[in-house]
Amino acid sequence: MTVNAGSTALYRLFDSSRRLLYVGISTQPETRWTQHATDKPWWALVQYREVEWHADRKDAEEAERAAIRSEGPLYNTAGAIRSLLTDHFPVCSSMTQAQVRLRFSDVLDATQFHGQPIEVTRRSKPAGVIVPPDWFDAAVAALAEVKELRRQLADARKEQV
């Protein structure tokens, strides 16, 4: 499969005897593996990797759930919980603070790689927005322009006095 924008990888990690250690998904598997290397005690066992690309995150999540259920990876202890999370708390344009906390990594993927802003609510009221990095950069640049225009306007008023 050709890897396109929006594609998500399903990866399998194996030890030296080809025992399945872990199944996961990511839009950037090599970056994810770097994260695993720093925070997973089992990472040193990984000797082989397999990657299959899916058209989108939803397809990859379905394949991940099926793989965890049927293949029984040694270190996917949260597989059943993750399945419940992805089924009952999908990443969408508006999520509660608790939902974001449960799916934080997926929320960041949605904003960073898919350009999807996500409104976060608390007690049914807007509490914040998680935006893609380019949106944030554009907002900071626009704010700097507004500050500069205000400065110029203040200088012009001083000259008139």
Which residues have a Cβ under 8 Å from the Cβ of 97 and sit 6 or more positions away?
Answer: 120, 121, 122, 127
Which pTM does this prediction carry?
A: 0.49
Top pLDDT among 16 and 112 is at 16
Q: How confident is the model at residue 116 (pLDDT cuts 50, 70, 90)?
A: confident
pLDDT band at 29 (very low <50, low <70, confident <90, very high): very high
pLDDT at position 88 is: 60
Residue 67 CB-half CA count within 13 A:
23
Tens digit of each residue's pLDDT (9 = 90 or more) over 48-90: 999 999 999 999 999 999 999 899 898 886 554 555 556 566 7
